A and B are shown apart, each in its own frame.
Chain A
Amino acid sequence: AQKVTQAQTEISVVEKEDVTLDCVYETRDTTYYLFWYKQPPSGELVFLIRRNSFDEQNEISGRYSWNFQKSTSSFNFTITASQVVDSAVYFCALSEAGRGYQKVTFGIGTKLQVIP
């Protein structure tokens, strides 16, 4: 069975601070995908990133960066110089890569509030 744990249910930071959202996953699959999604107050899920389990390189996209460590089954997400528009619920998620489709298992989400 697959499981995604996001231990931080809510985080508050002051604008311009850096913040890291933690994600720990469990899977028996040898190949899998990891995801992060953003759900702003409007409710629509926004795709941020997908990583293949073969690729442990960290990734940076603007103010966003992701740290994938297979040894600790973690896929953490850092926002640098946070902004009020970053306020949202962030979901870490996992799917098996070998199915031919993505049956995604989501974590419970971390609610991030960025205070001006």
Chain B
Amino acid sequence: GAGVSQTPSNKVTEKGKYVELRCDPISGHTALYWYRQSLGQGPEFLIYFQGTGAADDSGLPNDRFFAVRPEGSVSTLKIQRTERGDSAVYLCASSSSGRDEQFFGPGTRLTVL
């Protein structure tokens, strides 16, 4: 596909469960970002990957959140022991390099019951 894709589009889970959210960046984009957007708020930075490595994970709220990008393309955001406060839209963005314009995916809406 031409744009950033994210799966699933919606995820409903119960408190305490583990979830994985997937991001497929635009082909060839080396930079990948995750953001979290709570209802009525702007997106908040979570983590930035350059290639396979997490160059800046300062936005991850706590150690229940973890993200990987093992082959420098697809990335997975992993949330352990989910809490109701984790409910939000998780957005992924990619860019051809760290300095370039970010293209956003449609997001995954996570609801923790």
Taking the closest CB of chain B, its distance from the CB of A38, in whole angstroms, is: 11
Q: Are A44 and B42 in contact (CB under 8 A)?
A: no
Looking across the interface, which residue of chain A has its beta carbon closest to that of B43?
Answer: A106
Looking across the interface, which residue of chain B has its beta carbon closest to that of A99?
Answer: B98
Asked if B61 CB lies within 8 Å of chain A CBs, one says no
How many residues does chain B have at the interface if contact means C-beta atoms less than 8 Å apart? 28
Per-residue interface assignment for chain B, residues 45 to 85, with 1 indicating a CB less than 8 Å from any chain A CB and 0 otherwise: 10010100001101100000000000000000000000000
In the bound complex, CA of A93 to CA of B107 (Å): 18
Per-residue interface assignment for chain A, residues 85 to 116, with 1 indicating a CB less than 8 Å from any chain B CB and 0 otherwise: 00000010100000111111111110000000
Q: Give every chain B residue within 8 A of A108 (Cβ-Cβ).
A: 40-42
How many residues does chain A have at the interface if contact means C-beta atoms less than 8 Å apart? 22
Taking the closest CB of chain A, its distance from the CB of B71, in whole angstroms, is: 20
Asked if A61 CB lies within 8 Å of chain B CBs, one says no
Partner of B107 from A43, A101, A105, A106 at Cβ < 8 Å = A43
In the bound complex, CA of A81 to CA of B40 (Å): 27
Looking across the interface, which residue of chain B has its beta carbon closest to that of A49?
Answer: B101
Q: Give every chain B residue within 8 A of A91 (Cβ-Cβ).
A: 42-43
In the bound complex, CA of A43 to CA of B98 (Å): 24
Q: Give every chain A residue within 8 A of B95 (Cβ-Cβ).
A: 102
Taking the closest CB of chain A, its distance from the CB of B46, in whole angstroms, is: 10
Q: List 5 A-B contacts (CB under 8 A).
A: A44-B107, A45-B43, A100-B99, A103-B59, A104-B43
Q: A91-B42, A101-B48 are in contact. List 9 more A-B contacts (CB 8 A).
A: A4-B42, A44-B105, A47-B102, A50-B101, A100-B98, A101-B31, A102-B98, A106-B44, A109-B42
Which positions in B face A, CB cutoff 8 Å? 31, 33, 35, 40-45, 48, 50, 55-56, 58-59, 89, 91, 93, 95, 98-99, 101-107
Which 8 interchain pairs have the tightest Cβ spacing?
A106-B42, A101-B98, A45-B104, A44-B106, A100-B98, A106-B43, A91-B42, A103-B45
